[in-house]
Structure 1
Amino acid sequence: LWQGSPIGIPFVVVNGDEPARPATFLYDDESDPGGYRVPLDAPIEGGPQSDGDRHAIALDRDNCILYELYRAFPQPDGSWRADSGAIFDLRAHWLRPAGWTSADAAGLPILTGLVRYEEVAAGEIRHAIRFTAPQTRRAYVWPARHYASRLTEARYPPMGQRFRLRADFDISGFSQEAQVILRALKKYGMILADNGSAWYISGAPDERWDNDALRDLRRVRGADFEAVDVSSLMVLPDSGITATGAASQAVVNAANYRAGAVSPGLIVSLFGPGIGPDEPAVFELGPDGRVGTELAGVTVRFGGLAAPLLYVSTAQINAIVPYAVTGPKTEVEVFYRGASVFRRTVSVVEAAPGVFQPVLNQDYSPNSPTNPAERGSIAVVFGTGEGATDPLGIDGQPALEIFPRPVLPGKVEVAGRPVEILYAGAAPQLVAGVFQVNFRVPEDVPAGAVPLRVSVGPYQTSPRLRLHVR
């Protein structure tokens, strides 16, 4: 305790059946709409009577979804009122939209940067640590998405700046608990996430902490750190995927960058170092009218089956999972100039739907806060991962005369309610693996940014998808 209030930022772990509660926000235009699976009795930073940041955090362990609220107040009607809120799909790599805050000033998740007692007790922290500074710059660097300052001088650090404890810093005289934290600061560093106390690292409250051992960290000074430029690790500015190291190899849904299982016909992005040519190459239809399975010296195989290739480069490949791929697992292997340069084993499921953004309005203009859809109008989404189709999809074949439809039943929900679907099937003129859904925006849907969900059978799109309604 400090001055009668608990120290640290608490969180709670919930199951997937925890009710998704409505939430209203002061900064609604930069907050993810509800529902938030945060129990009304969830621990609040500083305690229930706190007048501080009042972070409330819940981790849905069944669905790998993180819910975070800033200045959160539970309401008598079972909802939450907060200044801002963010929902993070932990199977995906998408960052928040550029310029958006989260429950933290830098627009980053909080939980992933907290020091937890279990990590220290186990002897290793395997991530960067969240920290604060009293004065920051009116700027942010990857992977941060937001700033919270009017100061522009270069002597102030931008949000997202990573600092690393110098490799030659002697930690031998520190407590064992402090040494675990200091080793993490040497290997992973710490990321500036908010305005606050100087060089203040954050942890989760736990009665098992030895406060005397932690106070040992006060001997570390700012001059013991070095600023690290991590821009070379960035693959895409809107993604947290990094470009180097074998551990950076990833297979993700190309629509939402969600890692995990693949499905027949899914368009995937493969990330890894040195997996293709330095000069990017884009597909051209072959003499048979299909997307080919070899491009600029690159081939990709799923369980031995050659995949159509849409794009290849030194760090990213976009490919289409062959429709004949079956589960429960398959091996993904990339060959470049005959050599195996990438190998991952992934699960195979019936469908893995993801929606390419933006959603389109009835006139095919991008749906956005400044260009919302009218109630009663038709909106359009393009996606991938619908799984098996009827008739069966042909690998690499554009939909020109026959428009296969998903075998599994589809559903679209706007603001939590099912809506009328006018068309759901192959996207005309586009390659097999891209689906199109036209649906009607309900007349009684609330105005603003509302949750949008597309389901194929029991499989659903990311909870961060939204539709802007006038």
Structure 2
Amino acid sequence: MSYYGCPAFGPGAYNGVVTGTAIDRNSASYIKSVIGAGDGGGFYAATGAEKVNLADRRTPRRTVHPRVKYHKFPVPYPWGTSFYIEPLRDEHAMVVLTGTCHLYESYGTTFQQSILSGYSGANWDLSKSFVPLPPGSPSSMASGLSLFAGMVRWEDYQSGTIAHALNWSGLAGSAAQFKFVRPASDTDWLPYQGKSSYQMPYGARLRLRASFDTTGWGPEATMVATAMKAYGVYLSDTNSMGNELYFANAADGTNPWDTEDLSSLSLITLRDFDVLKLKKIQTVPGH
């Protein structure tokens, strides 16, 4: 679908249907490894904290000052003085430049005394297919994937379908410390807390089984589950609670999501998924 005149990436990593994609031969072992490390709970919708800023050619461009020496911001970001930064710990910021359909993301974002800073981030051309970052590069998420691309947007719901893969944030310590598969490029570097040798790599794509029953669910949760069956979820990041899905506020900043409707997502656990055939497992450079 179009997002304020811009595609949300071309065909490829996020927009391809995976209903017929082969299951990895070690799928059950990977799922068991995550659950064995403590991530056995249901999914939940993280609403109310994220918002996409819309910029145009009149929006000032600002240098992003890196908060650490080992992450760089090679291009200036369009940034208005009233632009939104997630008020929670991650301090995510997202900007879509509507004229050129370019996406800018950052993590650990601050804007103080007209100085824009960030811990890590990335930018992409939304009119093209998603381009993975160089190995060892995070984005606004540990995996190097796009927060915007895998977020459930209110505009998705209004269109009647979520036509893209979702970003899944698992429980910290439940995934591989330094292993990833494309389209990911990095990890959170946290040690795996389980005992299995089948540790889930970042960028792994999981698909909710078609047989999962959503009878009686509300329209919002049903649409999310349908997307999980058709497009799947990417292991994109981790958090202290586990199995989080990212939801964006409406463009006007309001939170239109029905939390009661979305609470049905808690009935979905990792036991209801298959891991799709993994690409070559890579190691974060230097590890």
- TM-score computed with the length of structure 2 as normaliser: 0.72
Give the Cα separation in 2 of the matches to 1:123 and 1:200. Answer: 22
* 2:269 corresponding residue in structure 1: 221
Where relative contact order (Cα < 8 A, 6+ residues apart) is larger, the structure is 2
Equivalents in 1 of 2:111, 2:259: separation in Å? 31
Map residues 75-86 of structure 1 onto 2, 5 A cutoff. 75-76=112-113, 78-86=114-122
Secondary structure, in 3 states, of the residue corresponding to 1:113? coil
Separation in 2, partners of 1:17, 1:29 = 31
Match in the other structure for 1:22: 63
SS of the residue 1:158 aligns to: coil
Give 1:28 deviation, angstroms: 4.2
Aligned to 1:70, which of 75, 89, 107? 107
- The counterpart of 1:96, out of the listed 120, 133, 151, is 133
Deviation of residue 164 (structure 1)? 0.8
CA drift of 1:221 comes to 1.6
Gaps in structure 1 of 5+ consecutive residues: 238-470
Pairing of 1:241-260 with structure 2 (within 5 A): none
Looking at structure 1, the residues matched to 145 and 59 of structure 2 have their Cα atoms a distance apart, in angstroms, of 24
Which one-letter code corresponds to 1:181 in the other structure?
A: V
Q: For residues 144-183 of structure 1, what are the structure 2 equivalents within 5 Å?
A: 144-151=184-191, 153-183=196-226
Contact kept? 1:25, 1:85, Cα under 8 Å = no
Q: What secondary structure, in the 3-state scheme, does the structure 2 residue paired with 1:88 have?
A: strand
Aligned residue pairs: how many? 224
Q: Which has the higher helix share?
A: 2
CA–CA distance in 1 between the matches of 2:54 and 2:77? 13
The structural deviation recorded for 1:172 is: 1.9
Shift of residue 103, structure 1, vs aligned partner: 1.2
1:200 maps to which of 239, 244, 248: 244
Q: What is the CA-CA distance between 1:10 and the residue it aligns to?
A: 1.5
The match for 2:169 is: 132
Gaps of 5+ in 2: 1-45, 283-287
Does the residue aligned with 1:112 lie in a helix, a strand or coil?
Answer: coil
Aligned with residue 9 of structure 1, among 19, 32, 50: 50
Q: Which residue of 2 aligns with 1:31?
A: 72
State the one-letter code of the partner of 1:75.
Q
Distance 1:64 1:53, change over 3 A: same
Once superposed, which parts of structure 1, at least 4 consecutive aligned residues long, lie more than 6 Å away?
none
Q: Distance in 2 between matches of 1:157 and 1:75?
A: 38
Q: Per-residue deviation at 1:143?
A: 0.4
RMSD: 2.1
Q: Distance between the aligned counterparts of 1:227 and 1:183, measured in 2? A: 17
Distance 1:118 1:86, change over 3 A: same
Could you tell me how far apart the structure 2 residues matched to 1:88 and 1:12 are?
15
Residues 184, 220 of structure 1: alpha-carbon distance in 2 compared, 3 angstrom cutoff: same
Residue 222 of structure 2 aligns to a residue in which SS?
helix
SS in 2 for 1:145: coil
Alignment deviations for residues 40-74 of structure 1 (CA, whole Å, 9 cap, x no partner): 321111x2xx4x00101110011111111111110
One-letter identity of the residue aligned with 2:58? D
Deviation by residue 1:256-281 (Cα, 9 ceiling, x = unmatched): xxxxxxxxxxxxxxxxxxxxxxxxxx
Task: Give the distance between the partners of 1:169 and 1:84, measured in 2 at CA.
Answer: 37
Q: Which amino acid aligns with 2:57?
A: G
- The letter of the residue matching 1:225 is F
Provide Cα deviations, 1:122-153, integer angstroms capped at 9, x if missing partner: 32100000110112212111100001224365
Deviation (angstroms), 1:165 = 0.4
Q: CA deviation at 1:113?
A: 0.6
Whole-angstrom CA distance in 2 between matches of 1:178 and 1:166: 15
Q: Which residue of structure 2 aligns with residue 277 of structure 1?
A: none
SS in 1 for 2:81: coil
Equivalent position amino acid for 2:277 in 1: D
Decide whether aligned partners of structure 1 residues 154 and 90 sit closer, same or farther in structure 2, where only a CA change above 3 A counts.
farther
Corresponding position of 1:451 = none
Work out which of the residue numbers 93, 105, 112 in structure 1 matches 2:142: 105
Percent of aligned positions that are identical: 28
**Which structure carries more strand by proportion?**
1
What is the SS of the residue equivalent to 2:78?
coil
The match for 1:209 among 229, 236, 257 is 257
Answer whether contact 2:54 2:95 (CA < 8 A) is retained: yes
Q: Distance in 1 between matches of 2:202 and 2:49?
A: 20
> What's the secondary structure of 2:157's corresponding residue?
helix
Instruction: Give the drift of 1:17.
Output: 2.8
Name the residue aligned to 2:37: none
Query: If you compute each CA radius of gyration, which structure gives the higher value, 1 or 2?
Result: 1
Deviates more, 1:7-16 or 1:219-228: 7-16
Question: Would the aligned equivalents of 2:47 and 2:248 in 1 still touch at CA under 8 Å?
Answer: no
Give a deviation string over 1:172-226, Cα, whole Å, max 9, x none.
Answer: 2211111111110000011111111321111102432111111111111221111
Deviation at 1:99, TM superposition (A): 1.3
How far, CA to CA, are the matches of 2:213 and 2:80 in structure 1? 44
Q: Aligned partner of 2:94: which letter?
A: I
Give the equivalent residue in structure 1 for 2:230: 187
